[in-house]
Chains A and B, each alone.
Chain A
């Protein structure tokens, strides 16, 4: 039983990270109907930004408080990846909006290749380990909960609340929802569609950057090809929850995290990715709309 709860906690931590990345996928898909293939690499970029901030901050201020350091990593990472994703949307996706359907997908795949290879070239192909930042652990009976796990879940919860507030309670969020429902109509009613889409990309990237920084904190290592597998898993989460649905993305992320850690604990660790991909296939085959998604009606 303790073992099960322990795995549940691990799964929840991992799931929070996937959920944050999944929101970026689901928002972009909802608003312009494209799979942003480069989103996983945006997540990786966020991890690298956090890594570099960590190195600079610790070398200048040796005794910097961990809370301040973490805040700095998250903020710089969010700004940095937000800027990157804004540029990417402007350069590679916007000119192809309204072009044929495969075109933005191909540029997104190209962008994903460019981003991971750009980091490989500029920062080197080796894994980048950092010393552990947060080492405290709590013991509750036989269950161990580390402070970093608590931090990840809490930060995710706070961000999700902020995000929910923006989407549901602000004019910006209203513009986003309007653009998602009907882009042309939204434009006619005075919503600046281009700006709304840009902000959506920035928001998605900021959440991915937080996920990247926390991934770095959790595993203590960053690598240029960290983007692909977590990216596909986060996409799986978005699809599982119902693509286009924000609560669905979080729910899907948590489910994928739980499935992955429970599968590794009880079955085989080698096949954990196979399990995730198989779930993706099964969900799409039997319930393509996901858990919370709306069915898509096809018109002639």
Chain B
């Protein structure tokens, strides 16, 4: 075996051809029914079928060629590079960083601060609606959610699959309290966070004894229960119809963004009417909320409670024998994470003006968790990057109408959004199981701060 890989390519190529053919045969049978046959309803509404041999052939060829290339060229290449790296003895984490790397955070923050004005400048008022709202706000909401979940999963090592429940609690708290009692956004924002934190404690309390996968499943169950209650408790939540006409946030009560009011923002500043001002305002609100989340996370990591979280993640038994109260440690992690989920929920409600249980399905929890894990658990930068790539990528896909000219007018890129999303999750995990940012900067250090590879940190037992 070793002789074959060292002496040369013929054996590798033969193996690649064999594996490629095998992959072709396997994929032929795999896709025979699901791709080769199309089921559809005819005019009489009866289910009928037709064949799609061409598409099946494409699938099979792609699988076979892909496998051939992987085995024959990509894998040997990666192996060679790994070997060369191991021989040269250079560690994966290098001390040399270029200017961009060193000042990445400052550059990113400045870019975010000027982003709405940049887009206004480049594409104008109408065009920038899309960039500020669909890209900017949407991504930042997910960044905030992922950072909130990071406290629970990344720092305390508690695997939570029902995080979206707290997002839902926050959103419905704002929606219900503002439409029944008319409270303002700035009063309800902290209240939503507090209510969500309360739910975090309520849900966290019974699951304190559970660990790992069991904890994951119970949190999933809680998430689903909250969603099902929102659907079925129609007297209060209006069920699947959702709550619409949720009040907009005001500029700290000074100016309103509702048209027709006397203190309207546009009128007060003598601007031409456009909804873009509200979007830009919302962009800065969510940016501030994100920064708050990041600040709190960074500060908490240096405080006793943050240290306790990380100790809990590394080894629960050792943690307990050192006298750390695991009950309060776990509950504060749950509550803090839930609180940020609640803030994000309230913001989501005011931004959409509409909430329904549809927005809080399990898939959302999975997506947020995926961001935390793909970004490299515990690394705020990595998680933010993962959110940008994943949400931004799917939003970009929505914009790709030019693909219609390639694949025909029936082609709708949105349909493939989640499919590609799932594939991306698998592929990133396969190649970088430790996430995008695989190194950690410790908060406690002896002489100098040195980053360690993510492989040296544990992910906890839950």
Q: Are A35 and B217 neighbours in the complex by a CB distance under 8 Å?
A: yes
Does A266 touch B at the CB level, under 8 Å?
no
Report the interface size for chain B: residues with CB under 8 A from the other chain.
62
Binds B, one of A16-24, A103-111, A137-145, A197-205: A103-111
Contact partners of B433 in chain A: CB under 8 A: 96, 99-100, 103
Question: Do residues A285 and B419 form an inter-chain contact, with CB atoms below 8 A?
Answer: no
Residues of B within 8 A of A113 (CB): 363, 366, 418-419, 421-422, 425
* Per-residue B-contact encoding for A61-100, CB less than 8 Å = 1, 0 else: 0000000000000001000100110010001100110011
Cβ-based interface call for A250 (8 A): no
Binds A, one of B32-40, B78-86, B181-189, B343-351: B32-40
Binary flags per residue of B213-229, CB closer than 8 Å to A gives 1, else 0: 11011101110110011
Main secondary structure of the interface of A (DSSP, over half): helix
- Give the contact stretch, choosing among A147-155, A162-170, A254-262, A275-283: A275-283
CA distance A204 to B318 in the complex (A): 38
Knowing A102-B159, A119-B34, A285-B207 touch, does A128 contact B39 (C-beta < 8 A)? yes
Known A-B contacts A56-B49, A121-B419; the reply to A109 vs B39 at CB < 8 A is no
Residue A133 is within 8 A (CB to CB) of chain B in the complex: no
Would B228 and A285 count as touching, CB distance under 8 A?
Answer: no
Closest to A56 in B: B49
List, in ascending order, chain B residues with CB within 8 A of A122's CB.
Answer: 34-35, 38
Please state if B34 and A118 are interface contacts (CB–CB under 8 Å). yes
By secondary structure, the B interface counts as: helix
Asked if B47 is at the interface (CB within 8 A of a chain A CB), the reply is yes
Contact of A274 among B217, B229, B373, B416 (CB under 8 A): B229
From A5-13, A44-52, A176-184, give the one contacting chain B. Answer: A44-52
> With an 8 A cutoff between CB atoms, is A217 at the interface?
no
CB pair A110 B426 closer than 8 Å: yes
Contacts of B229 in A (CB 8 A): 274
The answer to whether A128 and B47 have CB atoms under 8 Å apart is yes
Tell whether B98 is near chain A: CB-to-CB under 8 Å: no
Query: Which of A84, A112, A228, A277 has the most CB atoms of chain B within a 10 A radius of its CB?
Result: A277
User: A107 touching B415 by the CB < 8 A rule?
Assistant: no
Q: Specify which chain B residues have a CB less than 8 angstroms from the CB of A100 in the assembled complex.
A: 433-434, 458-459
**In the bound complex, how far is the Cα of B152 from the Cα of A102, in angstroms?**
14
What is the CB-to-nearest-CB distance from B430 to chain A, in angstroms, rounded to a whole number?
A: 6
User: Are B26 and A83 in contact (CB-based, < 8 A)?
Assistant: yes
Q: Which residues from 191 to 234 on chain A have a C-beta closer than 8 Å to any C-beta of chain B?
A: 228, 232
A132 in the interface (beta carbon within 8 A): no
- In whole Å, how far is B38's beta carbon from the nearest beta carbon of chain A? 7
B209 at the interface (CB under 8 A from A): yes
Q: Is A101 an interface residue (CB 8 A)?
A: yes
Tell me how far the C-beta of B452 lies from the nearest C-beta in chain A, rounded to whole angstroms.
Answer: 15
Q: Which of A59, A92, A110 contacts B48 (CB 8 A)?
A: A59
CB pair B209 A288 closer than 8 Å: yes
- Chain A nearest Cβ from B360, distance in angstroms: 14
> Which A residues from 36 to 50 make CB contacts under 8 A with B?
45, 48-49
Give, as a whole number of angstroms, the nearest-CB distance from B231 to chain A: 8
Of listed A92, A123, A236, residue having the most chain B CB within 10 A: A123
Q: Is A136 an interface residue (CB 8 A)?
A: no
Selected contact of B47 from candidates A76, A130, A273, A278, CB within 8 Å: A130
B residues in contact with A300, CB < 8 Å: 315, 317-318
The B390-429 residues at the A interface (CB cut-off 8 A) are 415-416, 418-419, 421-426, 429
- CB of A48 within 8 A of CB of B419, answer no
Q: How many residues of A contact B (CB 8 A)?
A: 65
The answer to whether A264 has its CB under 8 Å from any CB of chain B is: no
Report if A278-B370 is in contact (Cβ < 8 Å); known contacts: A52-B33, A120-B415.
Answer: no
Given contacts A117-B419, A120-B415, is CB(A53)–CB(B48) below 8 Å? no
Chain A residues with CB under 8 A of B218: 280-281, 284-285
A107 is contacted by which of B221, B369, B430 (Cβ under 8 Å)? B430
Q: Which residues of B contact A99 (CB under 8 A)?
A: 433
- B298 CB within 8 Å of chain A: no
Q: Tell me which residues across on chain B come within 8 A of A274, comparing CB atoms.
A: 225, 228-229, 232
Q: Which residue, A34, A273, A298, has most C-beta atoms of chain B within 10 A?
A: A273
B373 pairs with A114, CB closer than 8 A: no
How far is the CB of A294 from the nearest CB of chain B, in Å? 14
B362 partner residues in chain A, CB cutoff 8 A: 228
B206 CB-CB contact with A under 8 Å: yes
- Nearest residue, chain A, Cβ from B206: A285
Bound state CA distance, A130 and B423, in angstroms? 31
Most A CB contacts (10 A, CB to CB) among B29, B41, B221, B232 go to B221
| Distance of A76 Cα from B30 Cα, bound (Å) | 11
Q: Identify B425's interface contact among A55, A80, A106, A271, CB under 8 A.
A: A106
Q: Which residue of B lies closest to A96 (CB)?
A: B433
Q: Quick check: B33 and A80 within 8 Å, CB to CB?
A: yes
A281 adjacent to B222 (CB under 8 Å): yes
B217 near A280 (CB under 8 angstroms)?
yes
Residue on B with the closest CB to A103? B433
B212 located at the interface, meaning its Cβ lies under 8 Å from any Cβ of chain A in the complex: yes
Please indicate the chain B residues that have their CB under 8 angstroms from the CB of A76 in the complex.
Answer: 33
When the two chains form their complex, are residues A84 and B30 in contact, meaning their CB atoms are under 8 A apart?
yes
Contact pattern, B 150-174, Cβ under 8 Å of A = 1, otherwise 0: 0000000001000000000000000
- Cβ A55 vs Cβ B222 within 8 A: no
State which of B39, B48, B317, B369 has its C-beta within 8 Å of the C-beta of A124.
B39
Neighbour of A106 across the interface among B29, B315, B370, CB < 8 A? B370
A46 to chain B, nearest CB (A): 11
List B contacts of A109 (CB < 8 A). 366, 369-370, 425
CB distance from A116 to the nearest CB of B (A): 8
Candidate in B33, B317, B318, B363 with the most chain A CB atoms within 10 angstroms? B33
Determine if A239 is an interface residue (Cβ-Cβ < 8 Å): yes
CB-CB under 8 A from B29, the residues of chain A are: 80, 83
14 contacts between A and B (CB under 8 A): A96-B429, A103-B429, A106-B429, A110-B429, A113-B419, A117-B416, A120-B415, A122-B35, A123-B38, A124-B39, A274-B232, A277-B224, A284-B218, A288-B210
Top 5 nearest A-B pairs (CB, nearest first) are A110-B425, A113-B422, A114-B422, A117-B419, A277-B221
Query: Which residues of A come within 8 Å of B, CB atoms?
Result: 29, 34-35, 45, 48-49, 51-53, 55-56, 59, 76, 80, 83-84, 87, 91-92, 95-96, 99-103, 105-107, 109-114, 117-124, 126, 128-130, 228, 232, 235-236, 239, 270-271, 273-274, 277-278, 280-281, 284-285, 288, 298, 300
Known: A83-B30, A106-B429, A126-B41. 18 other contacts (CB 8 A): A45-B34, A87-B26, A92-B426, A100-B458, A100-B459, A107-B426, A113-B425, A114-B422, A114-B426, A124-B40, A232-B220, A274-B229, A274-B232, A277-B221, A281-B225, A284-B214, A284-B217, A298-B317
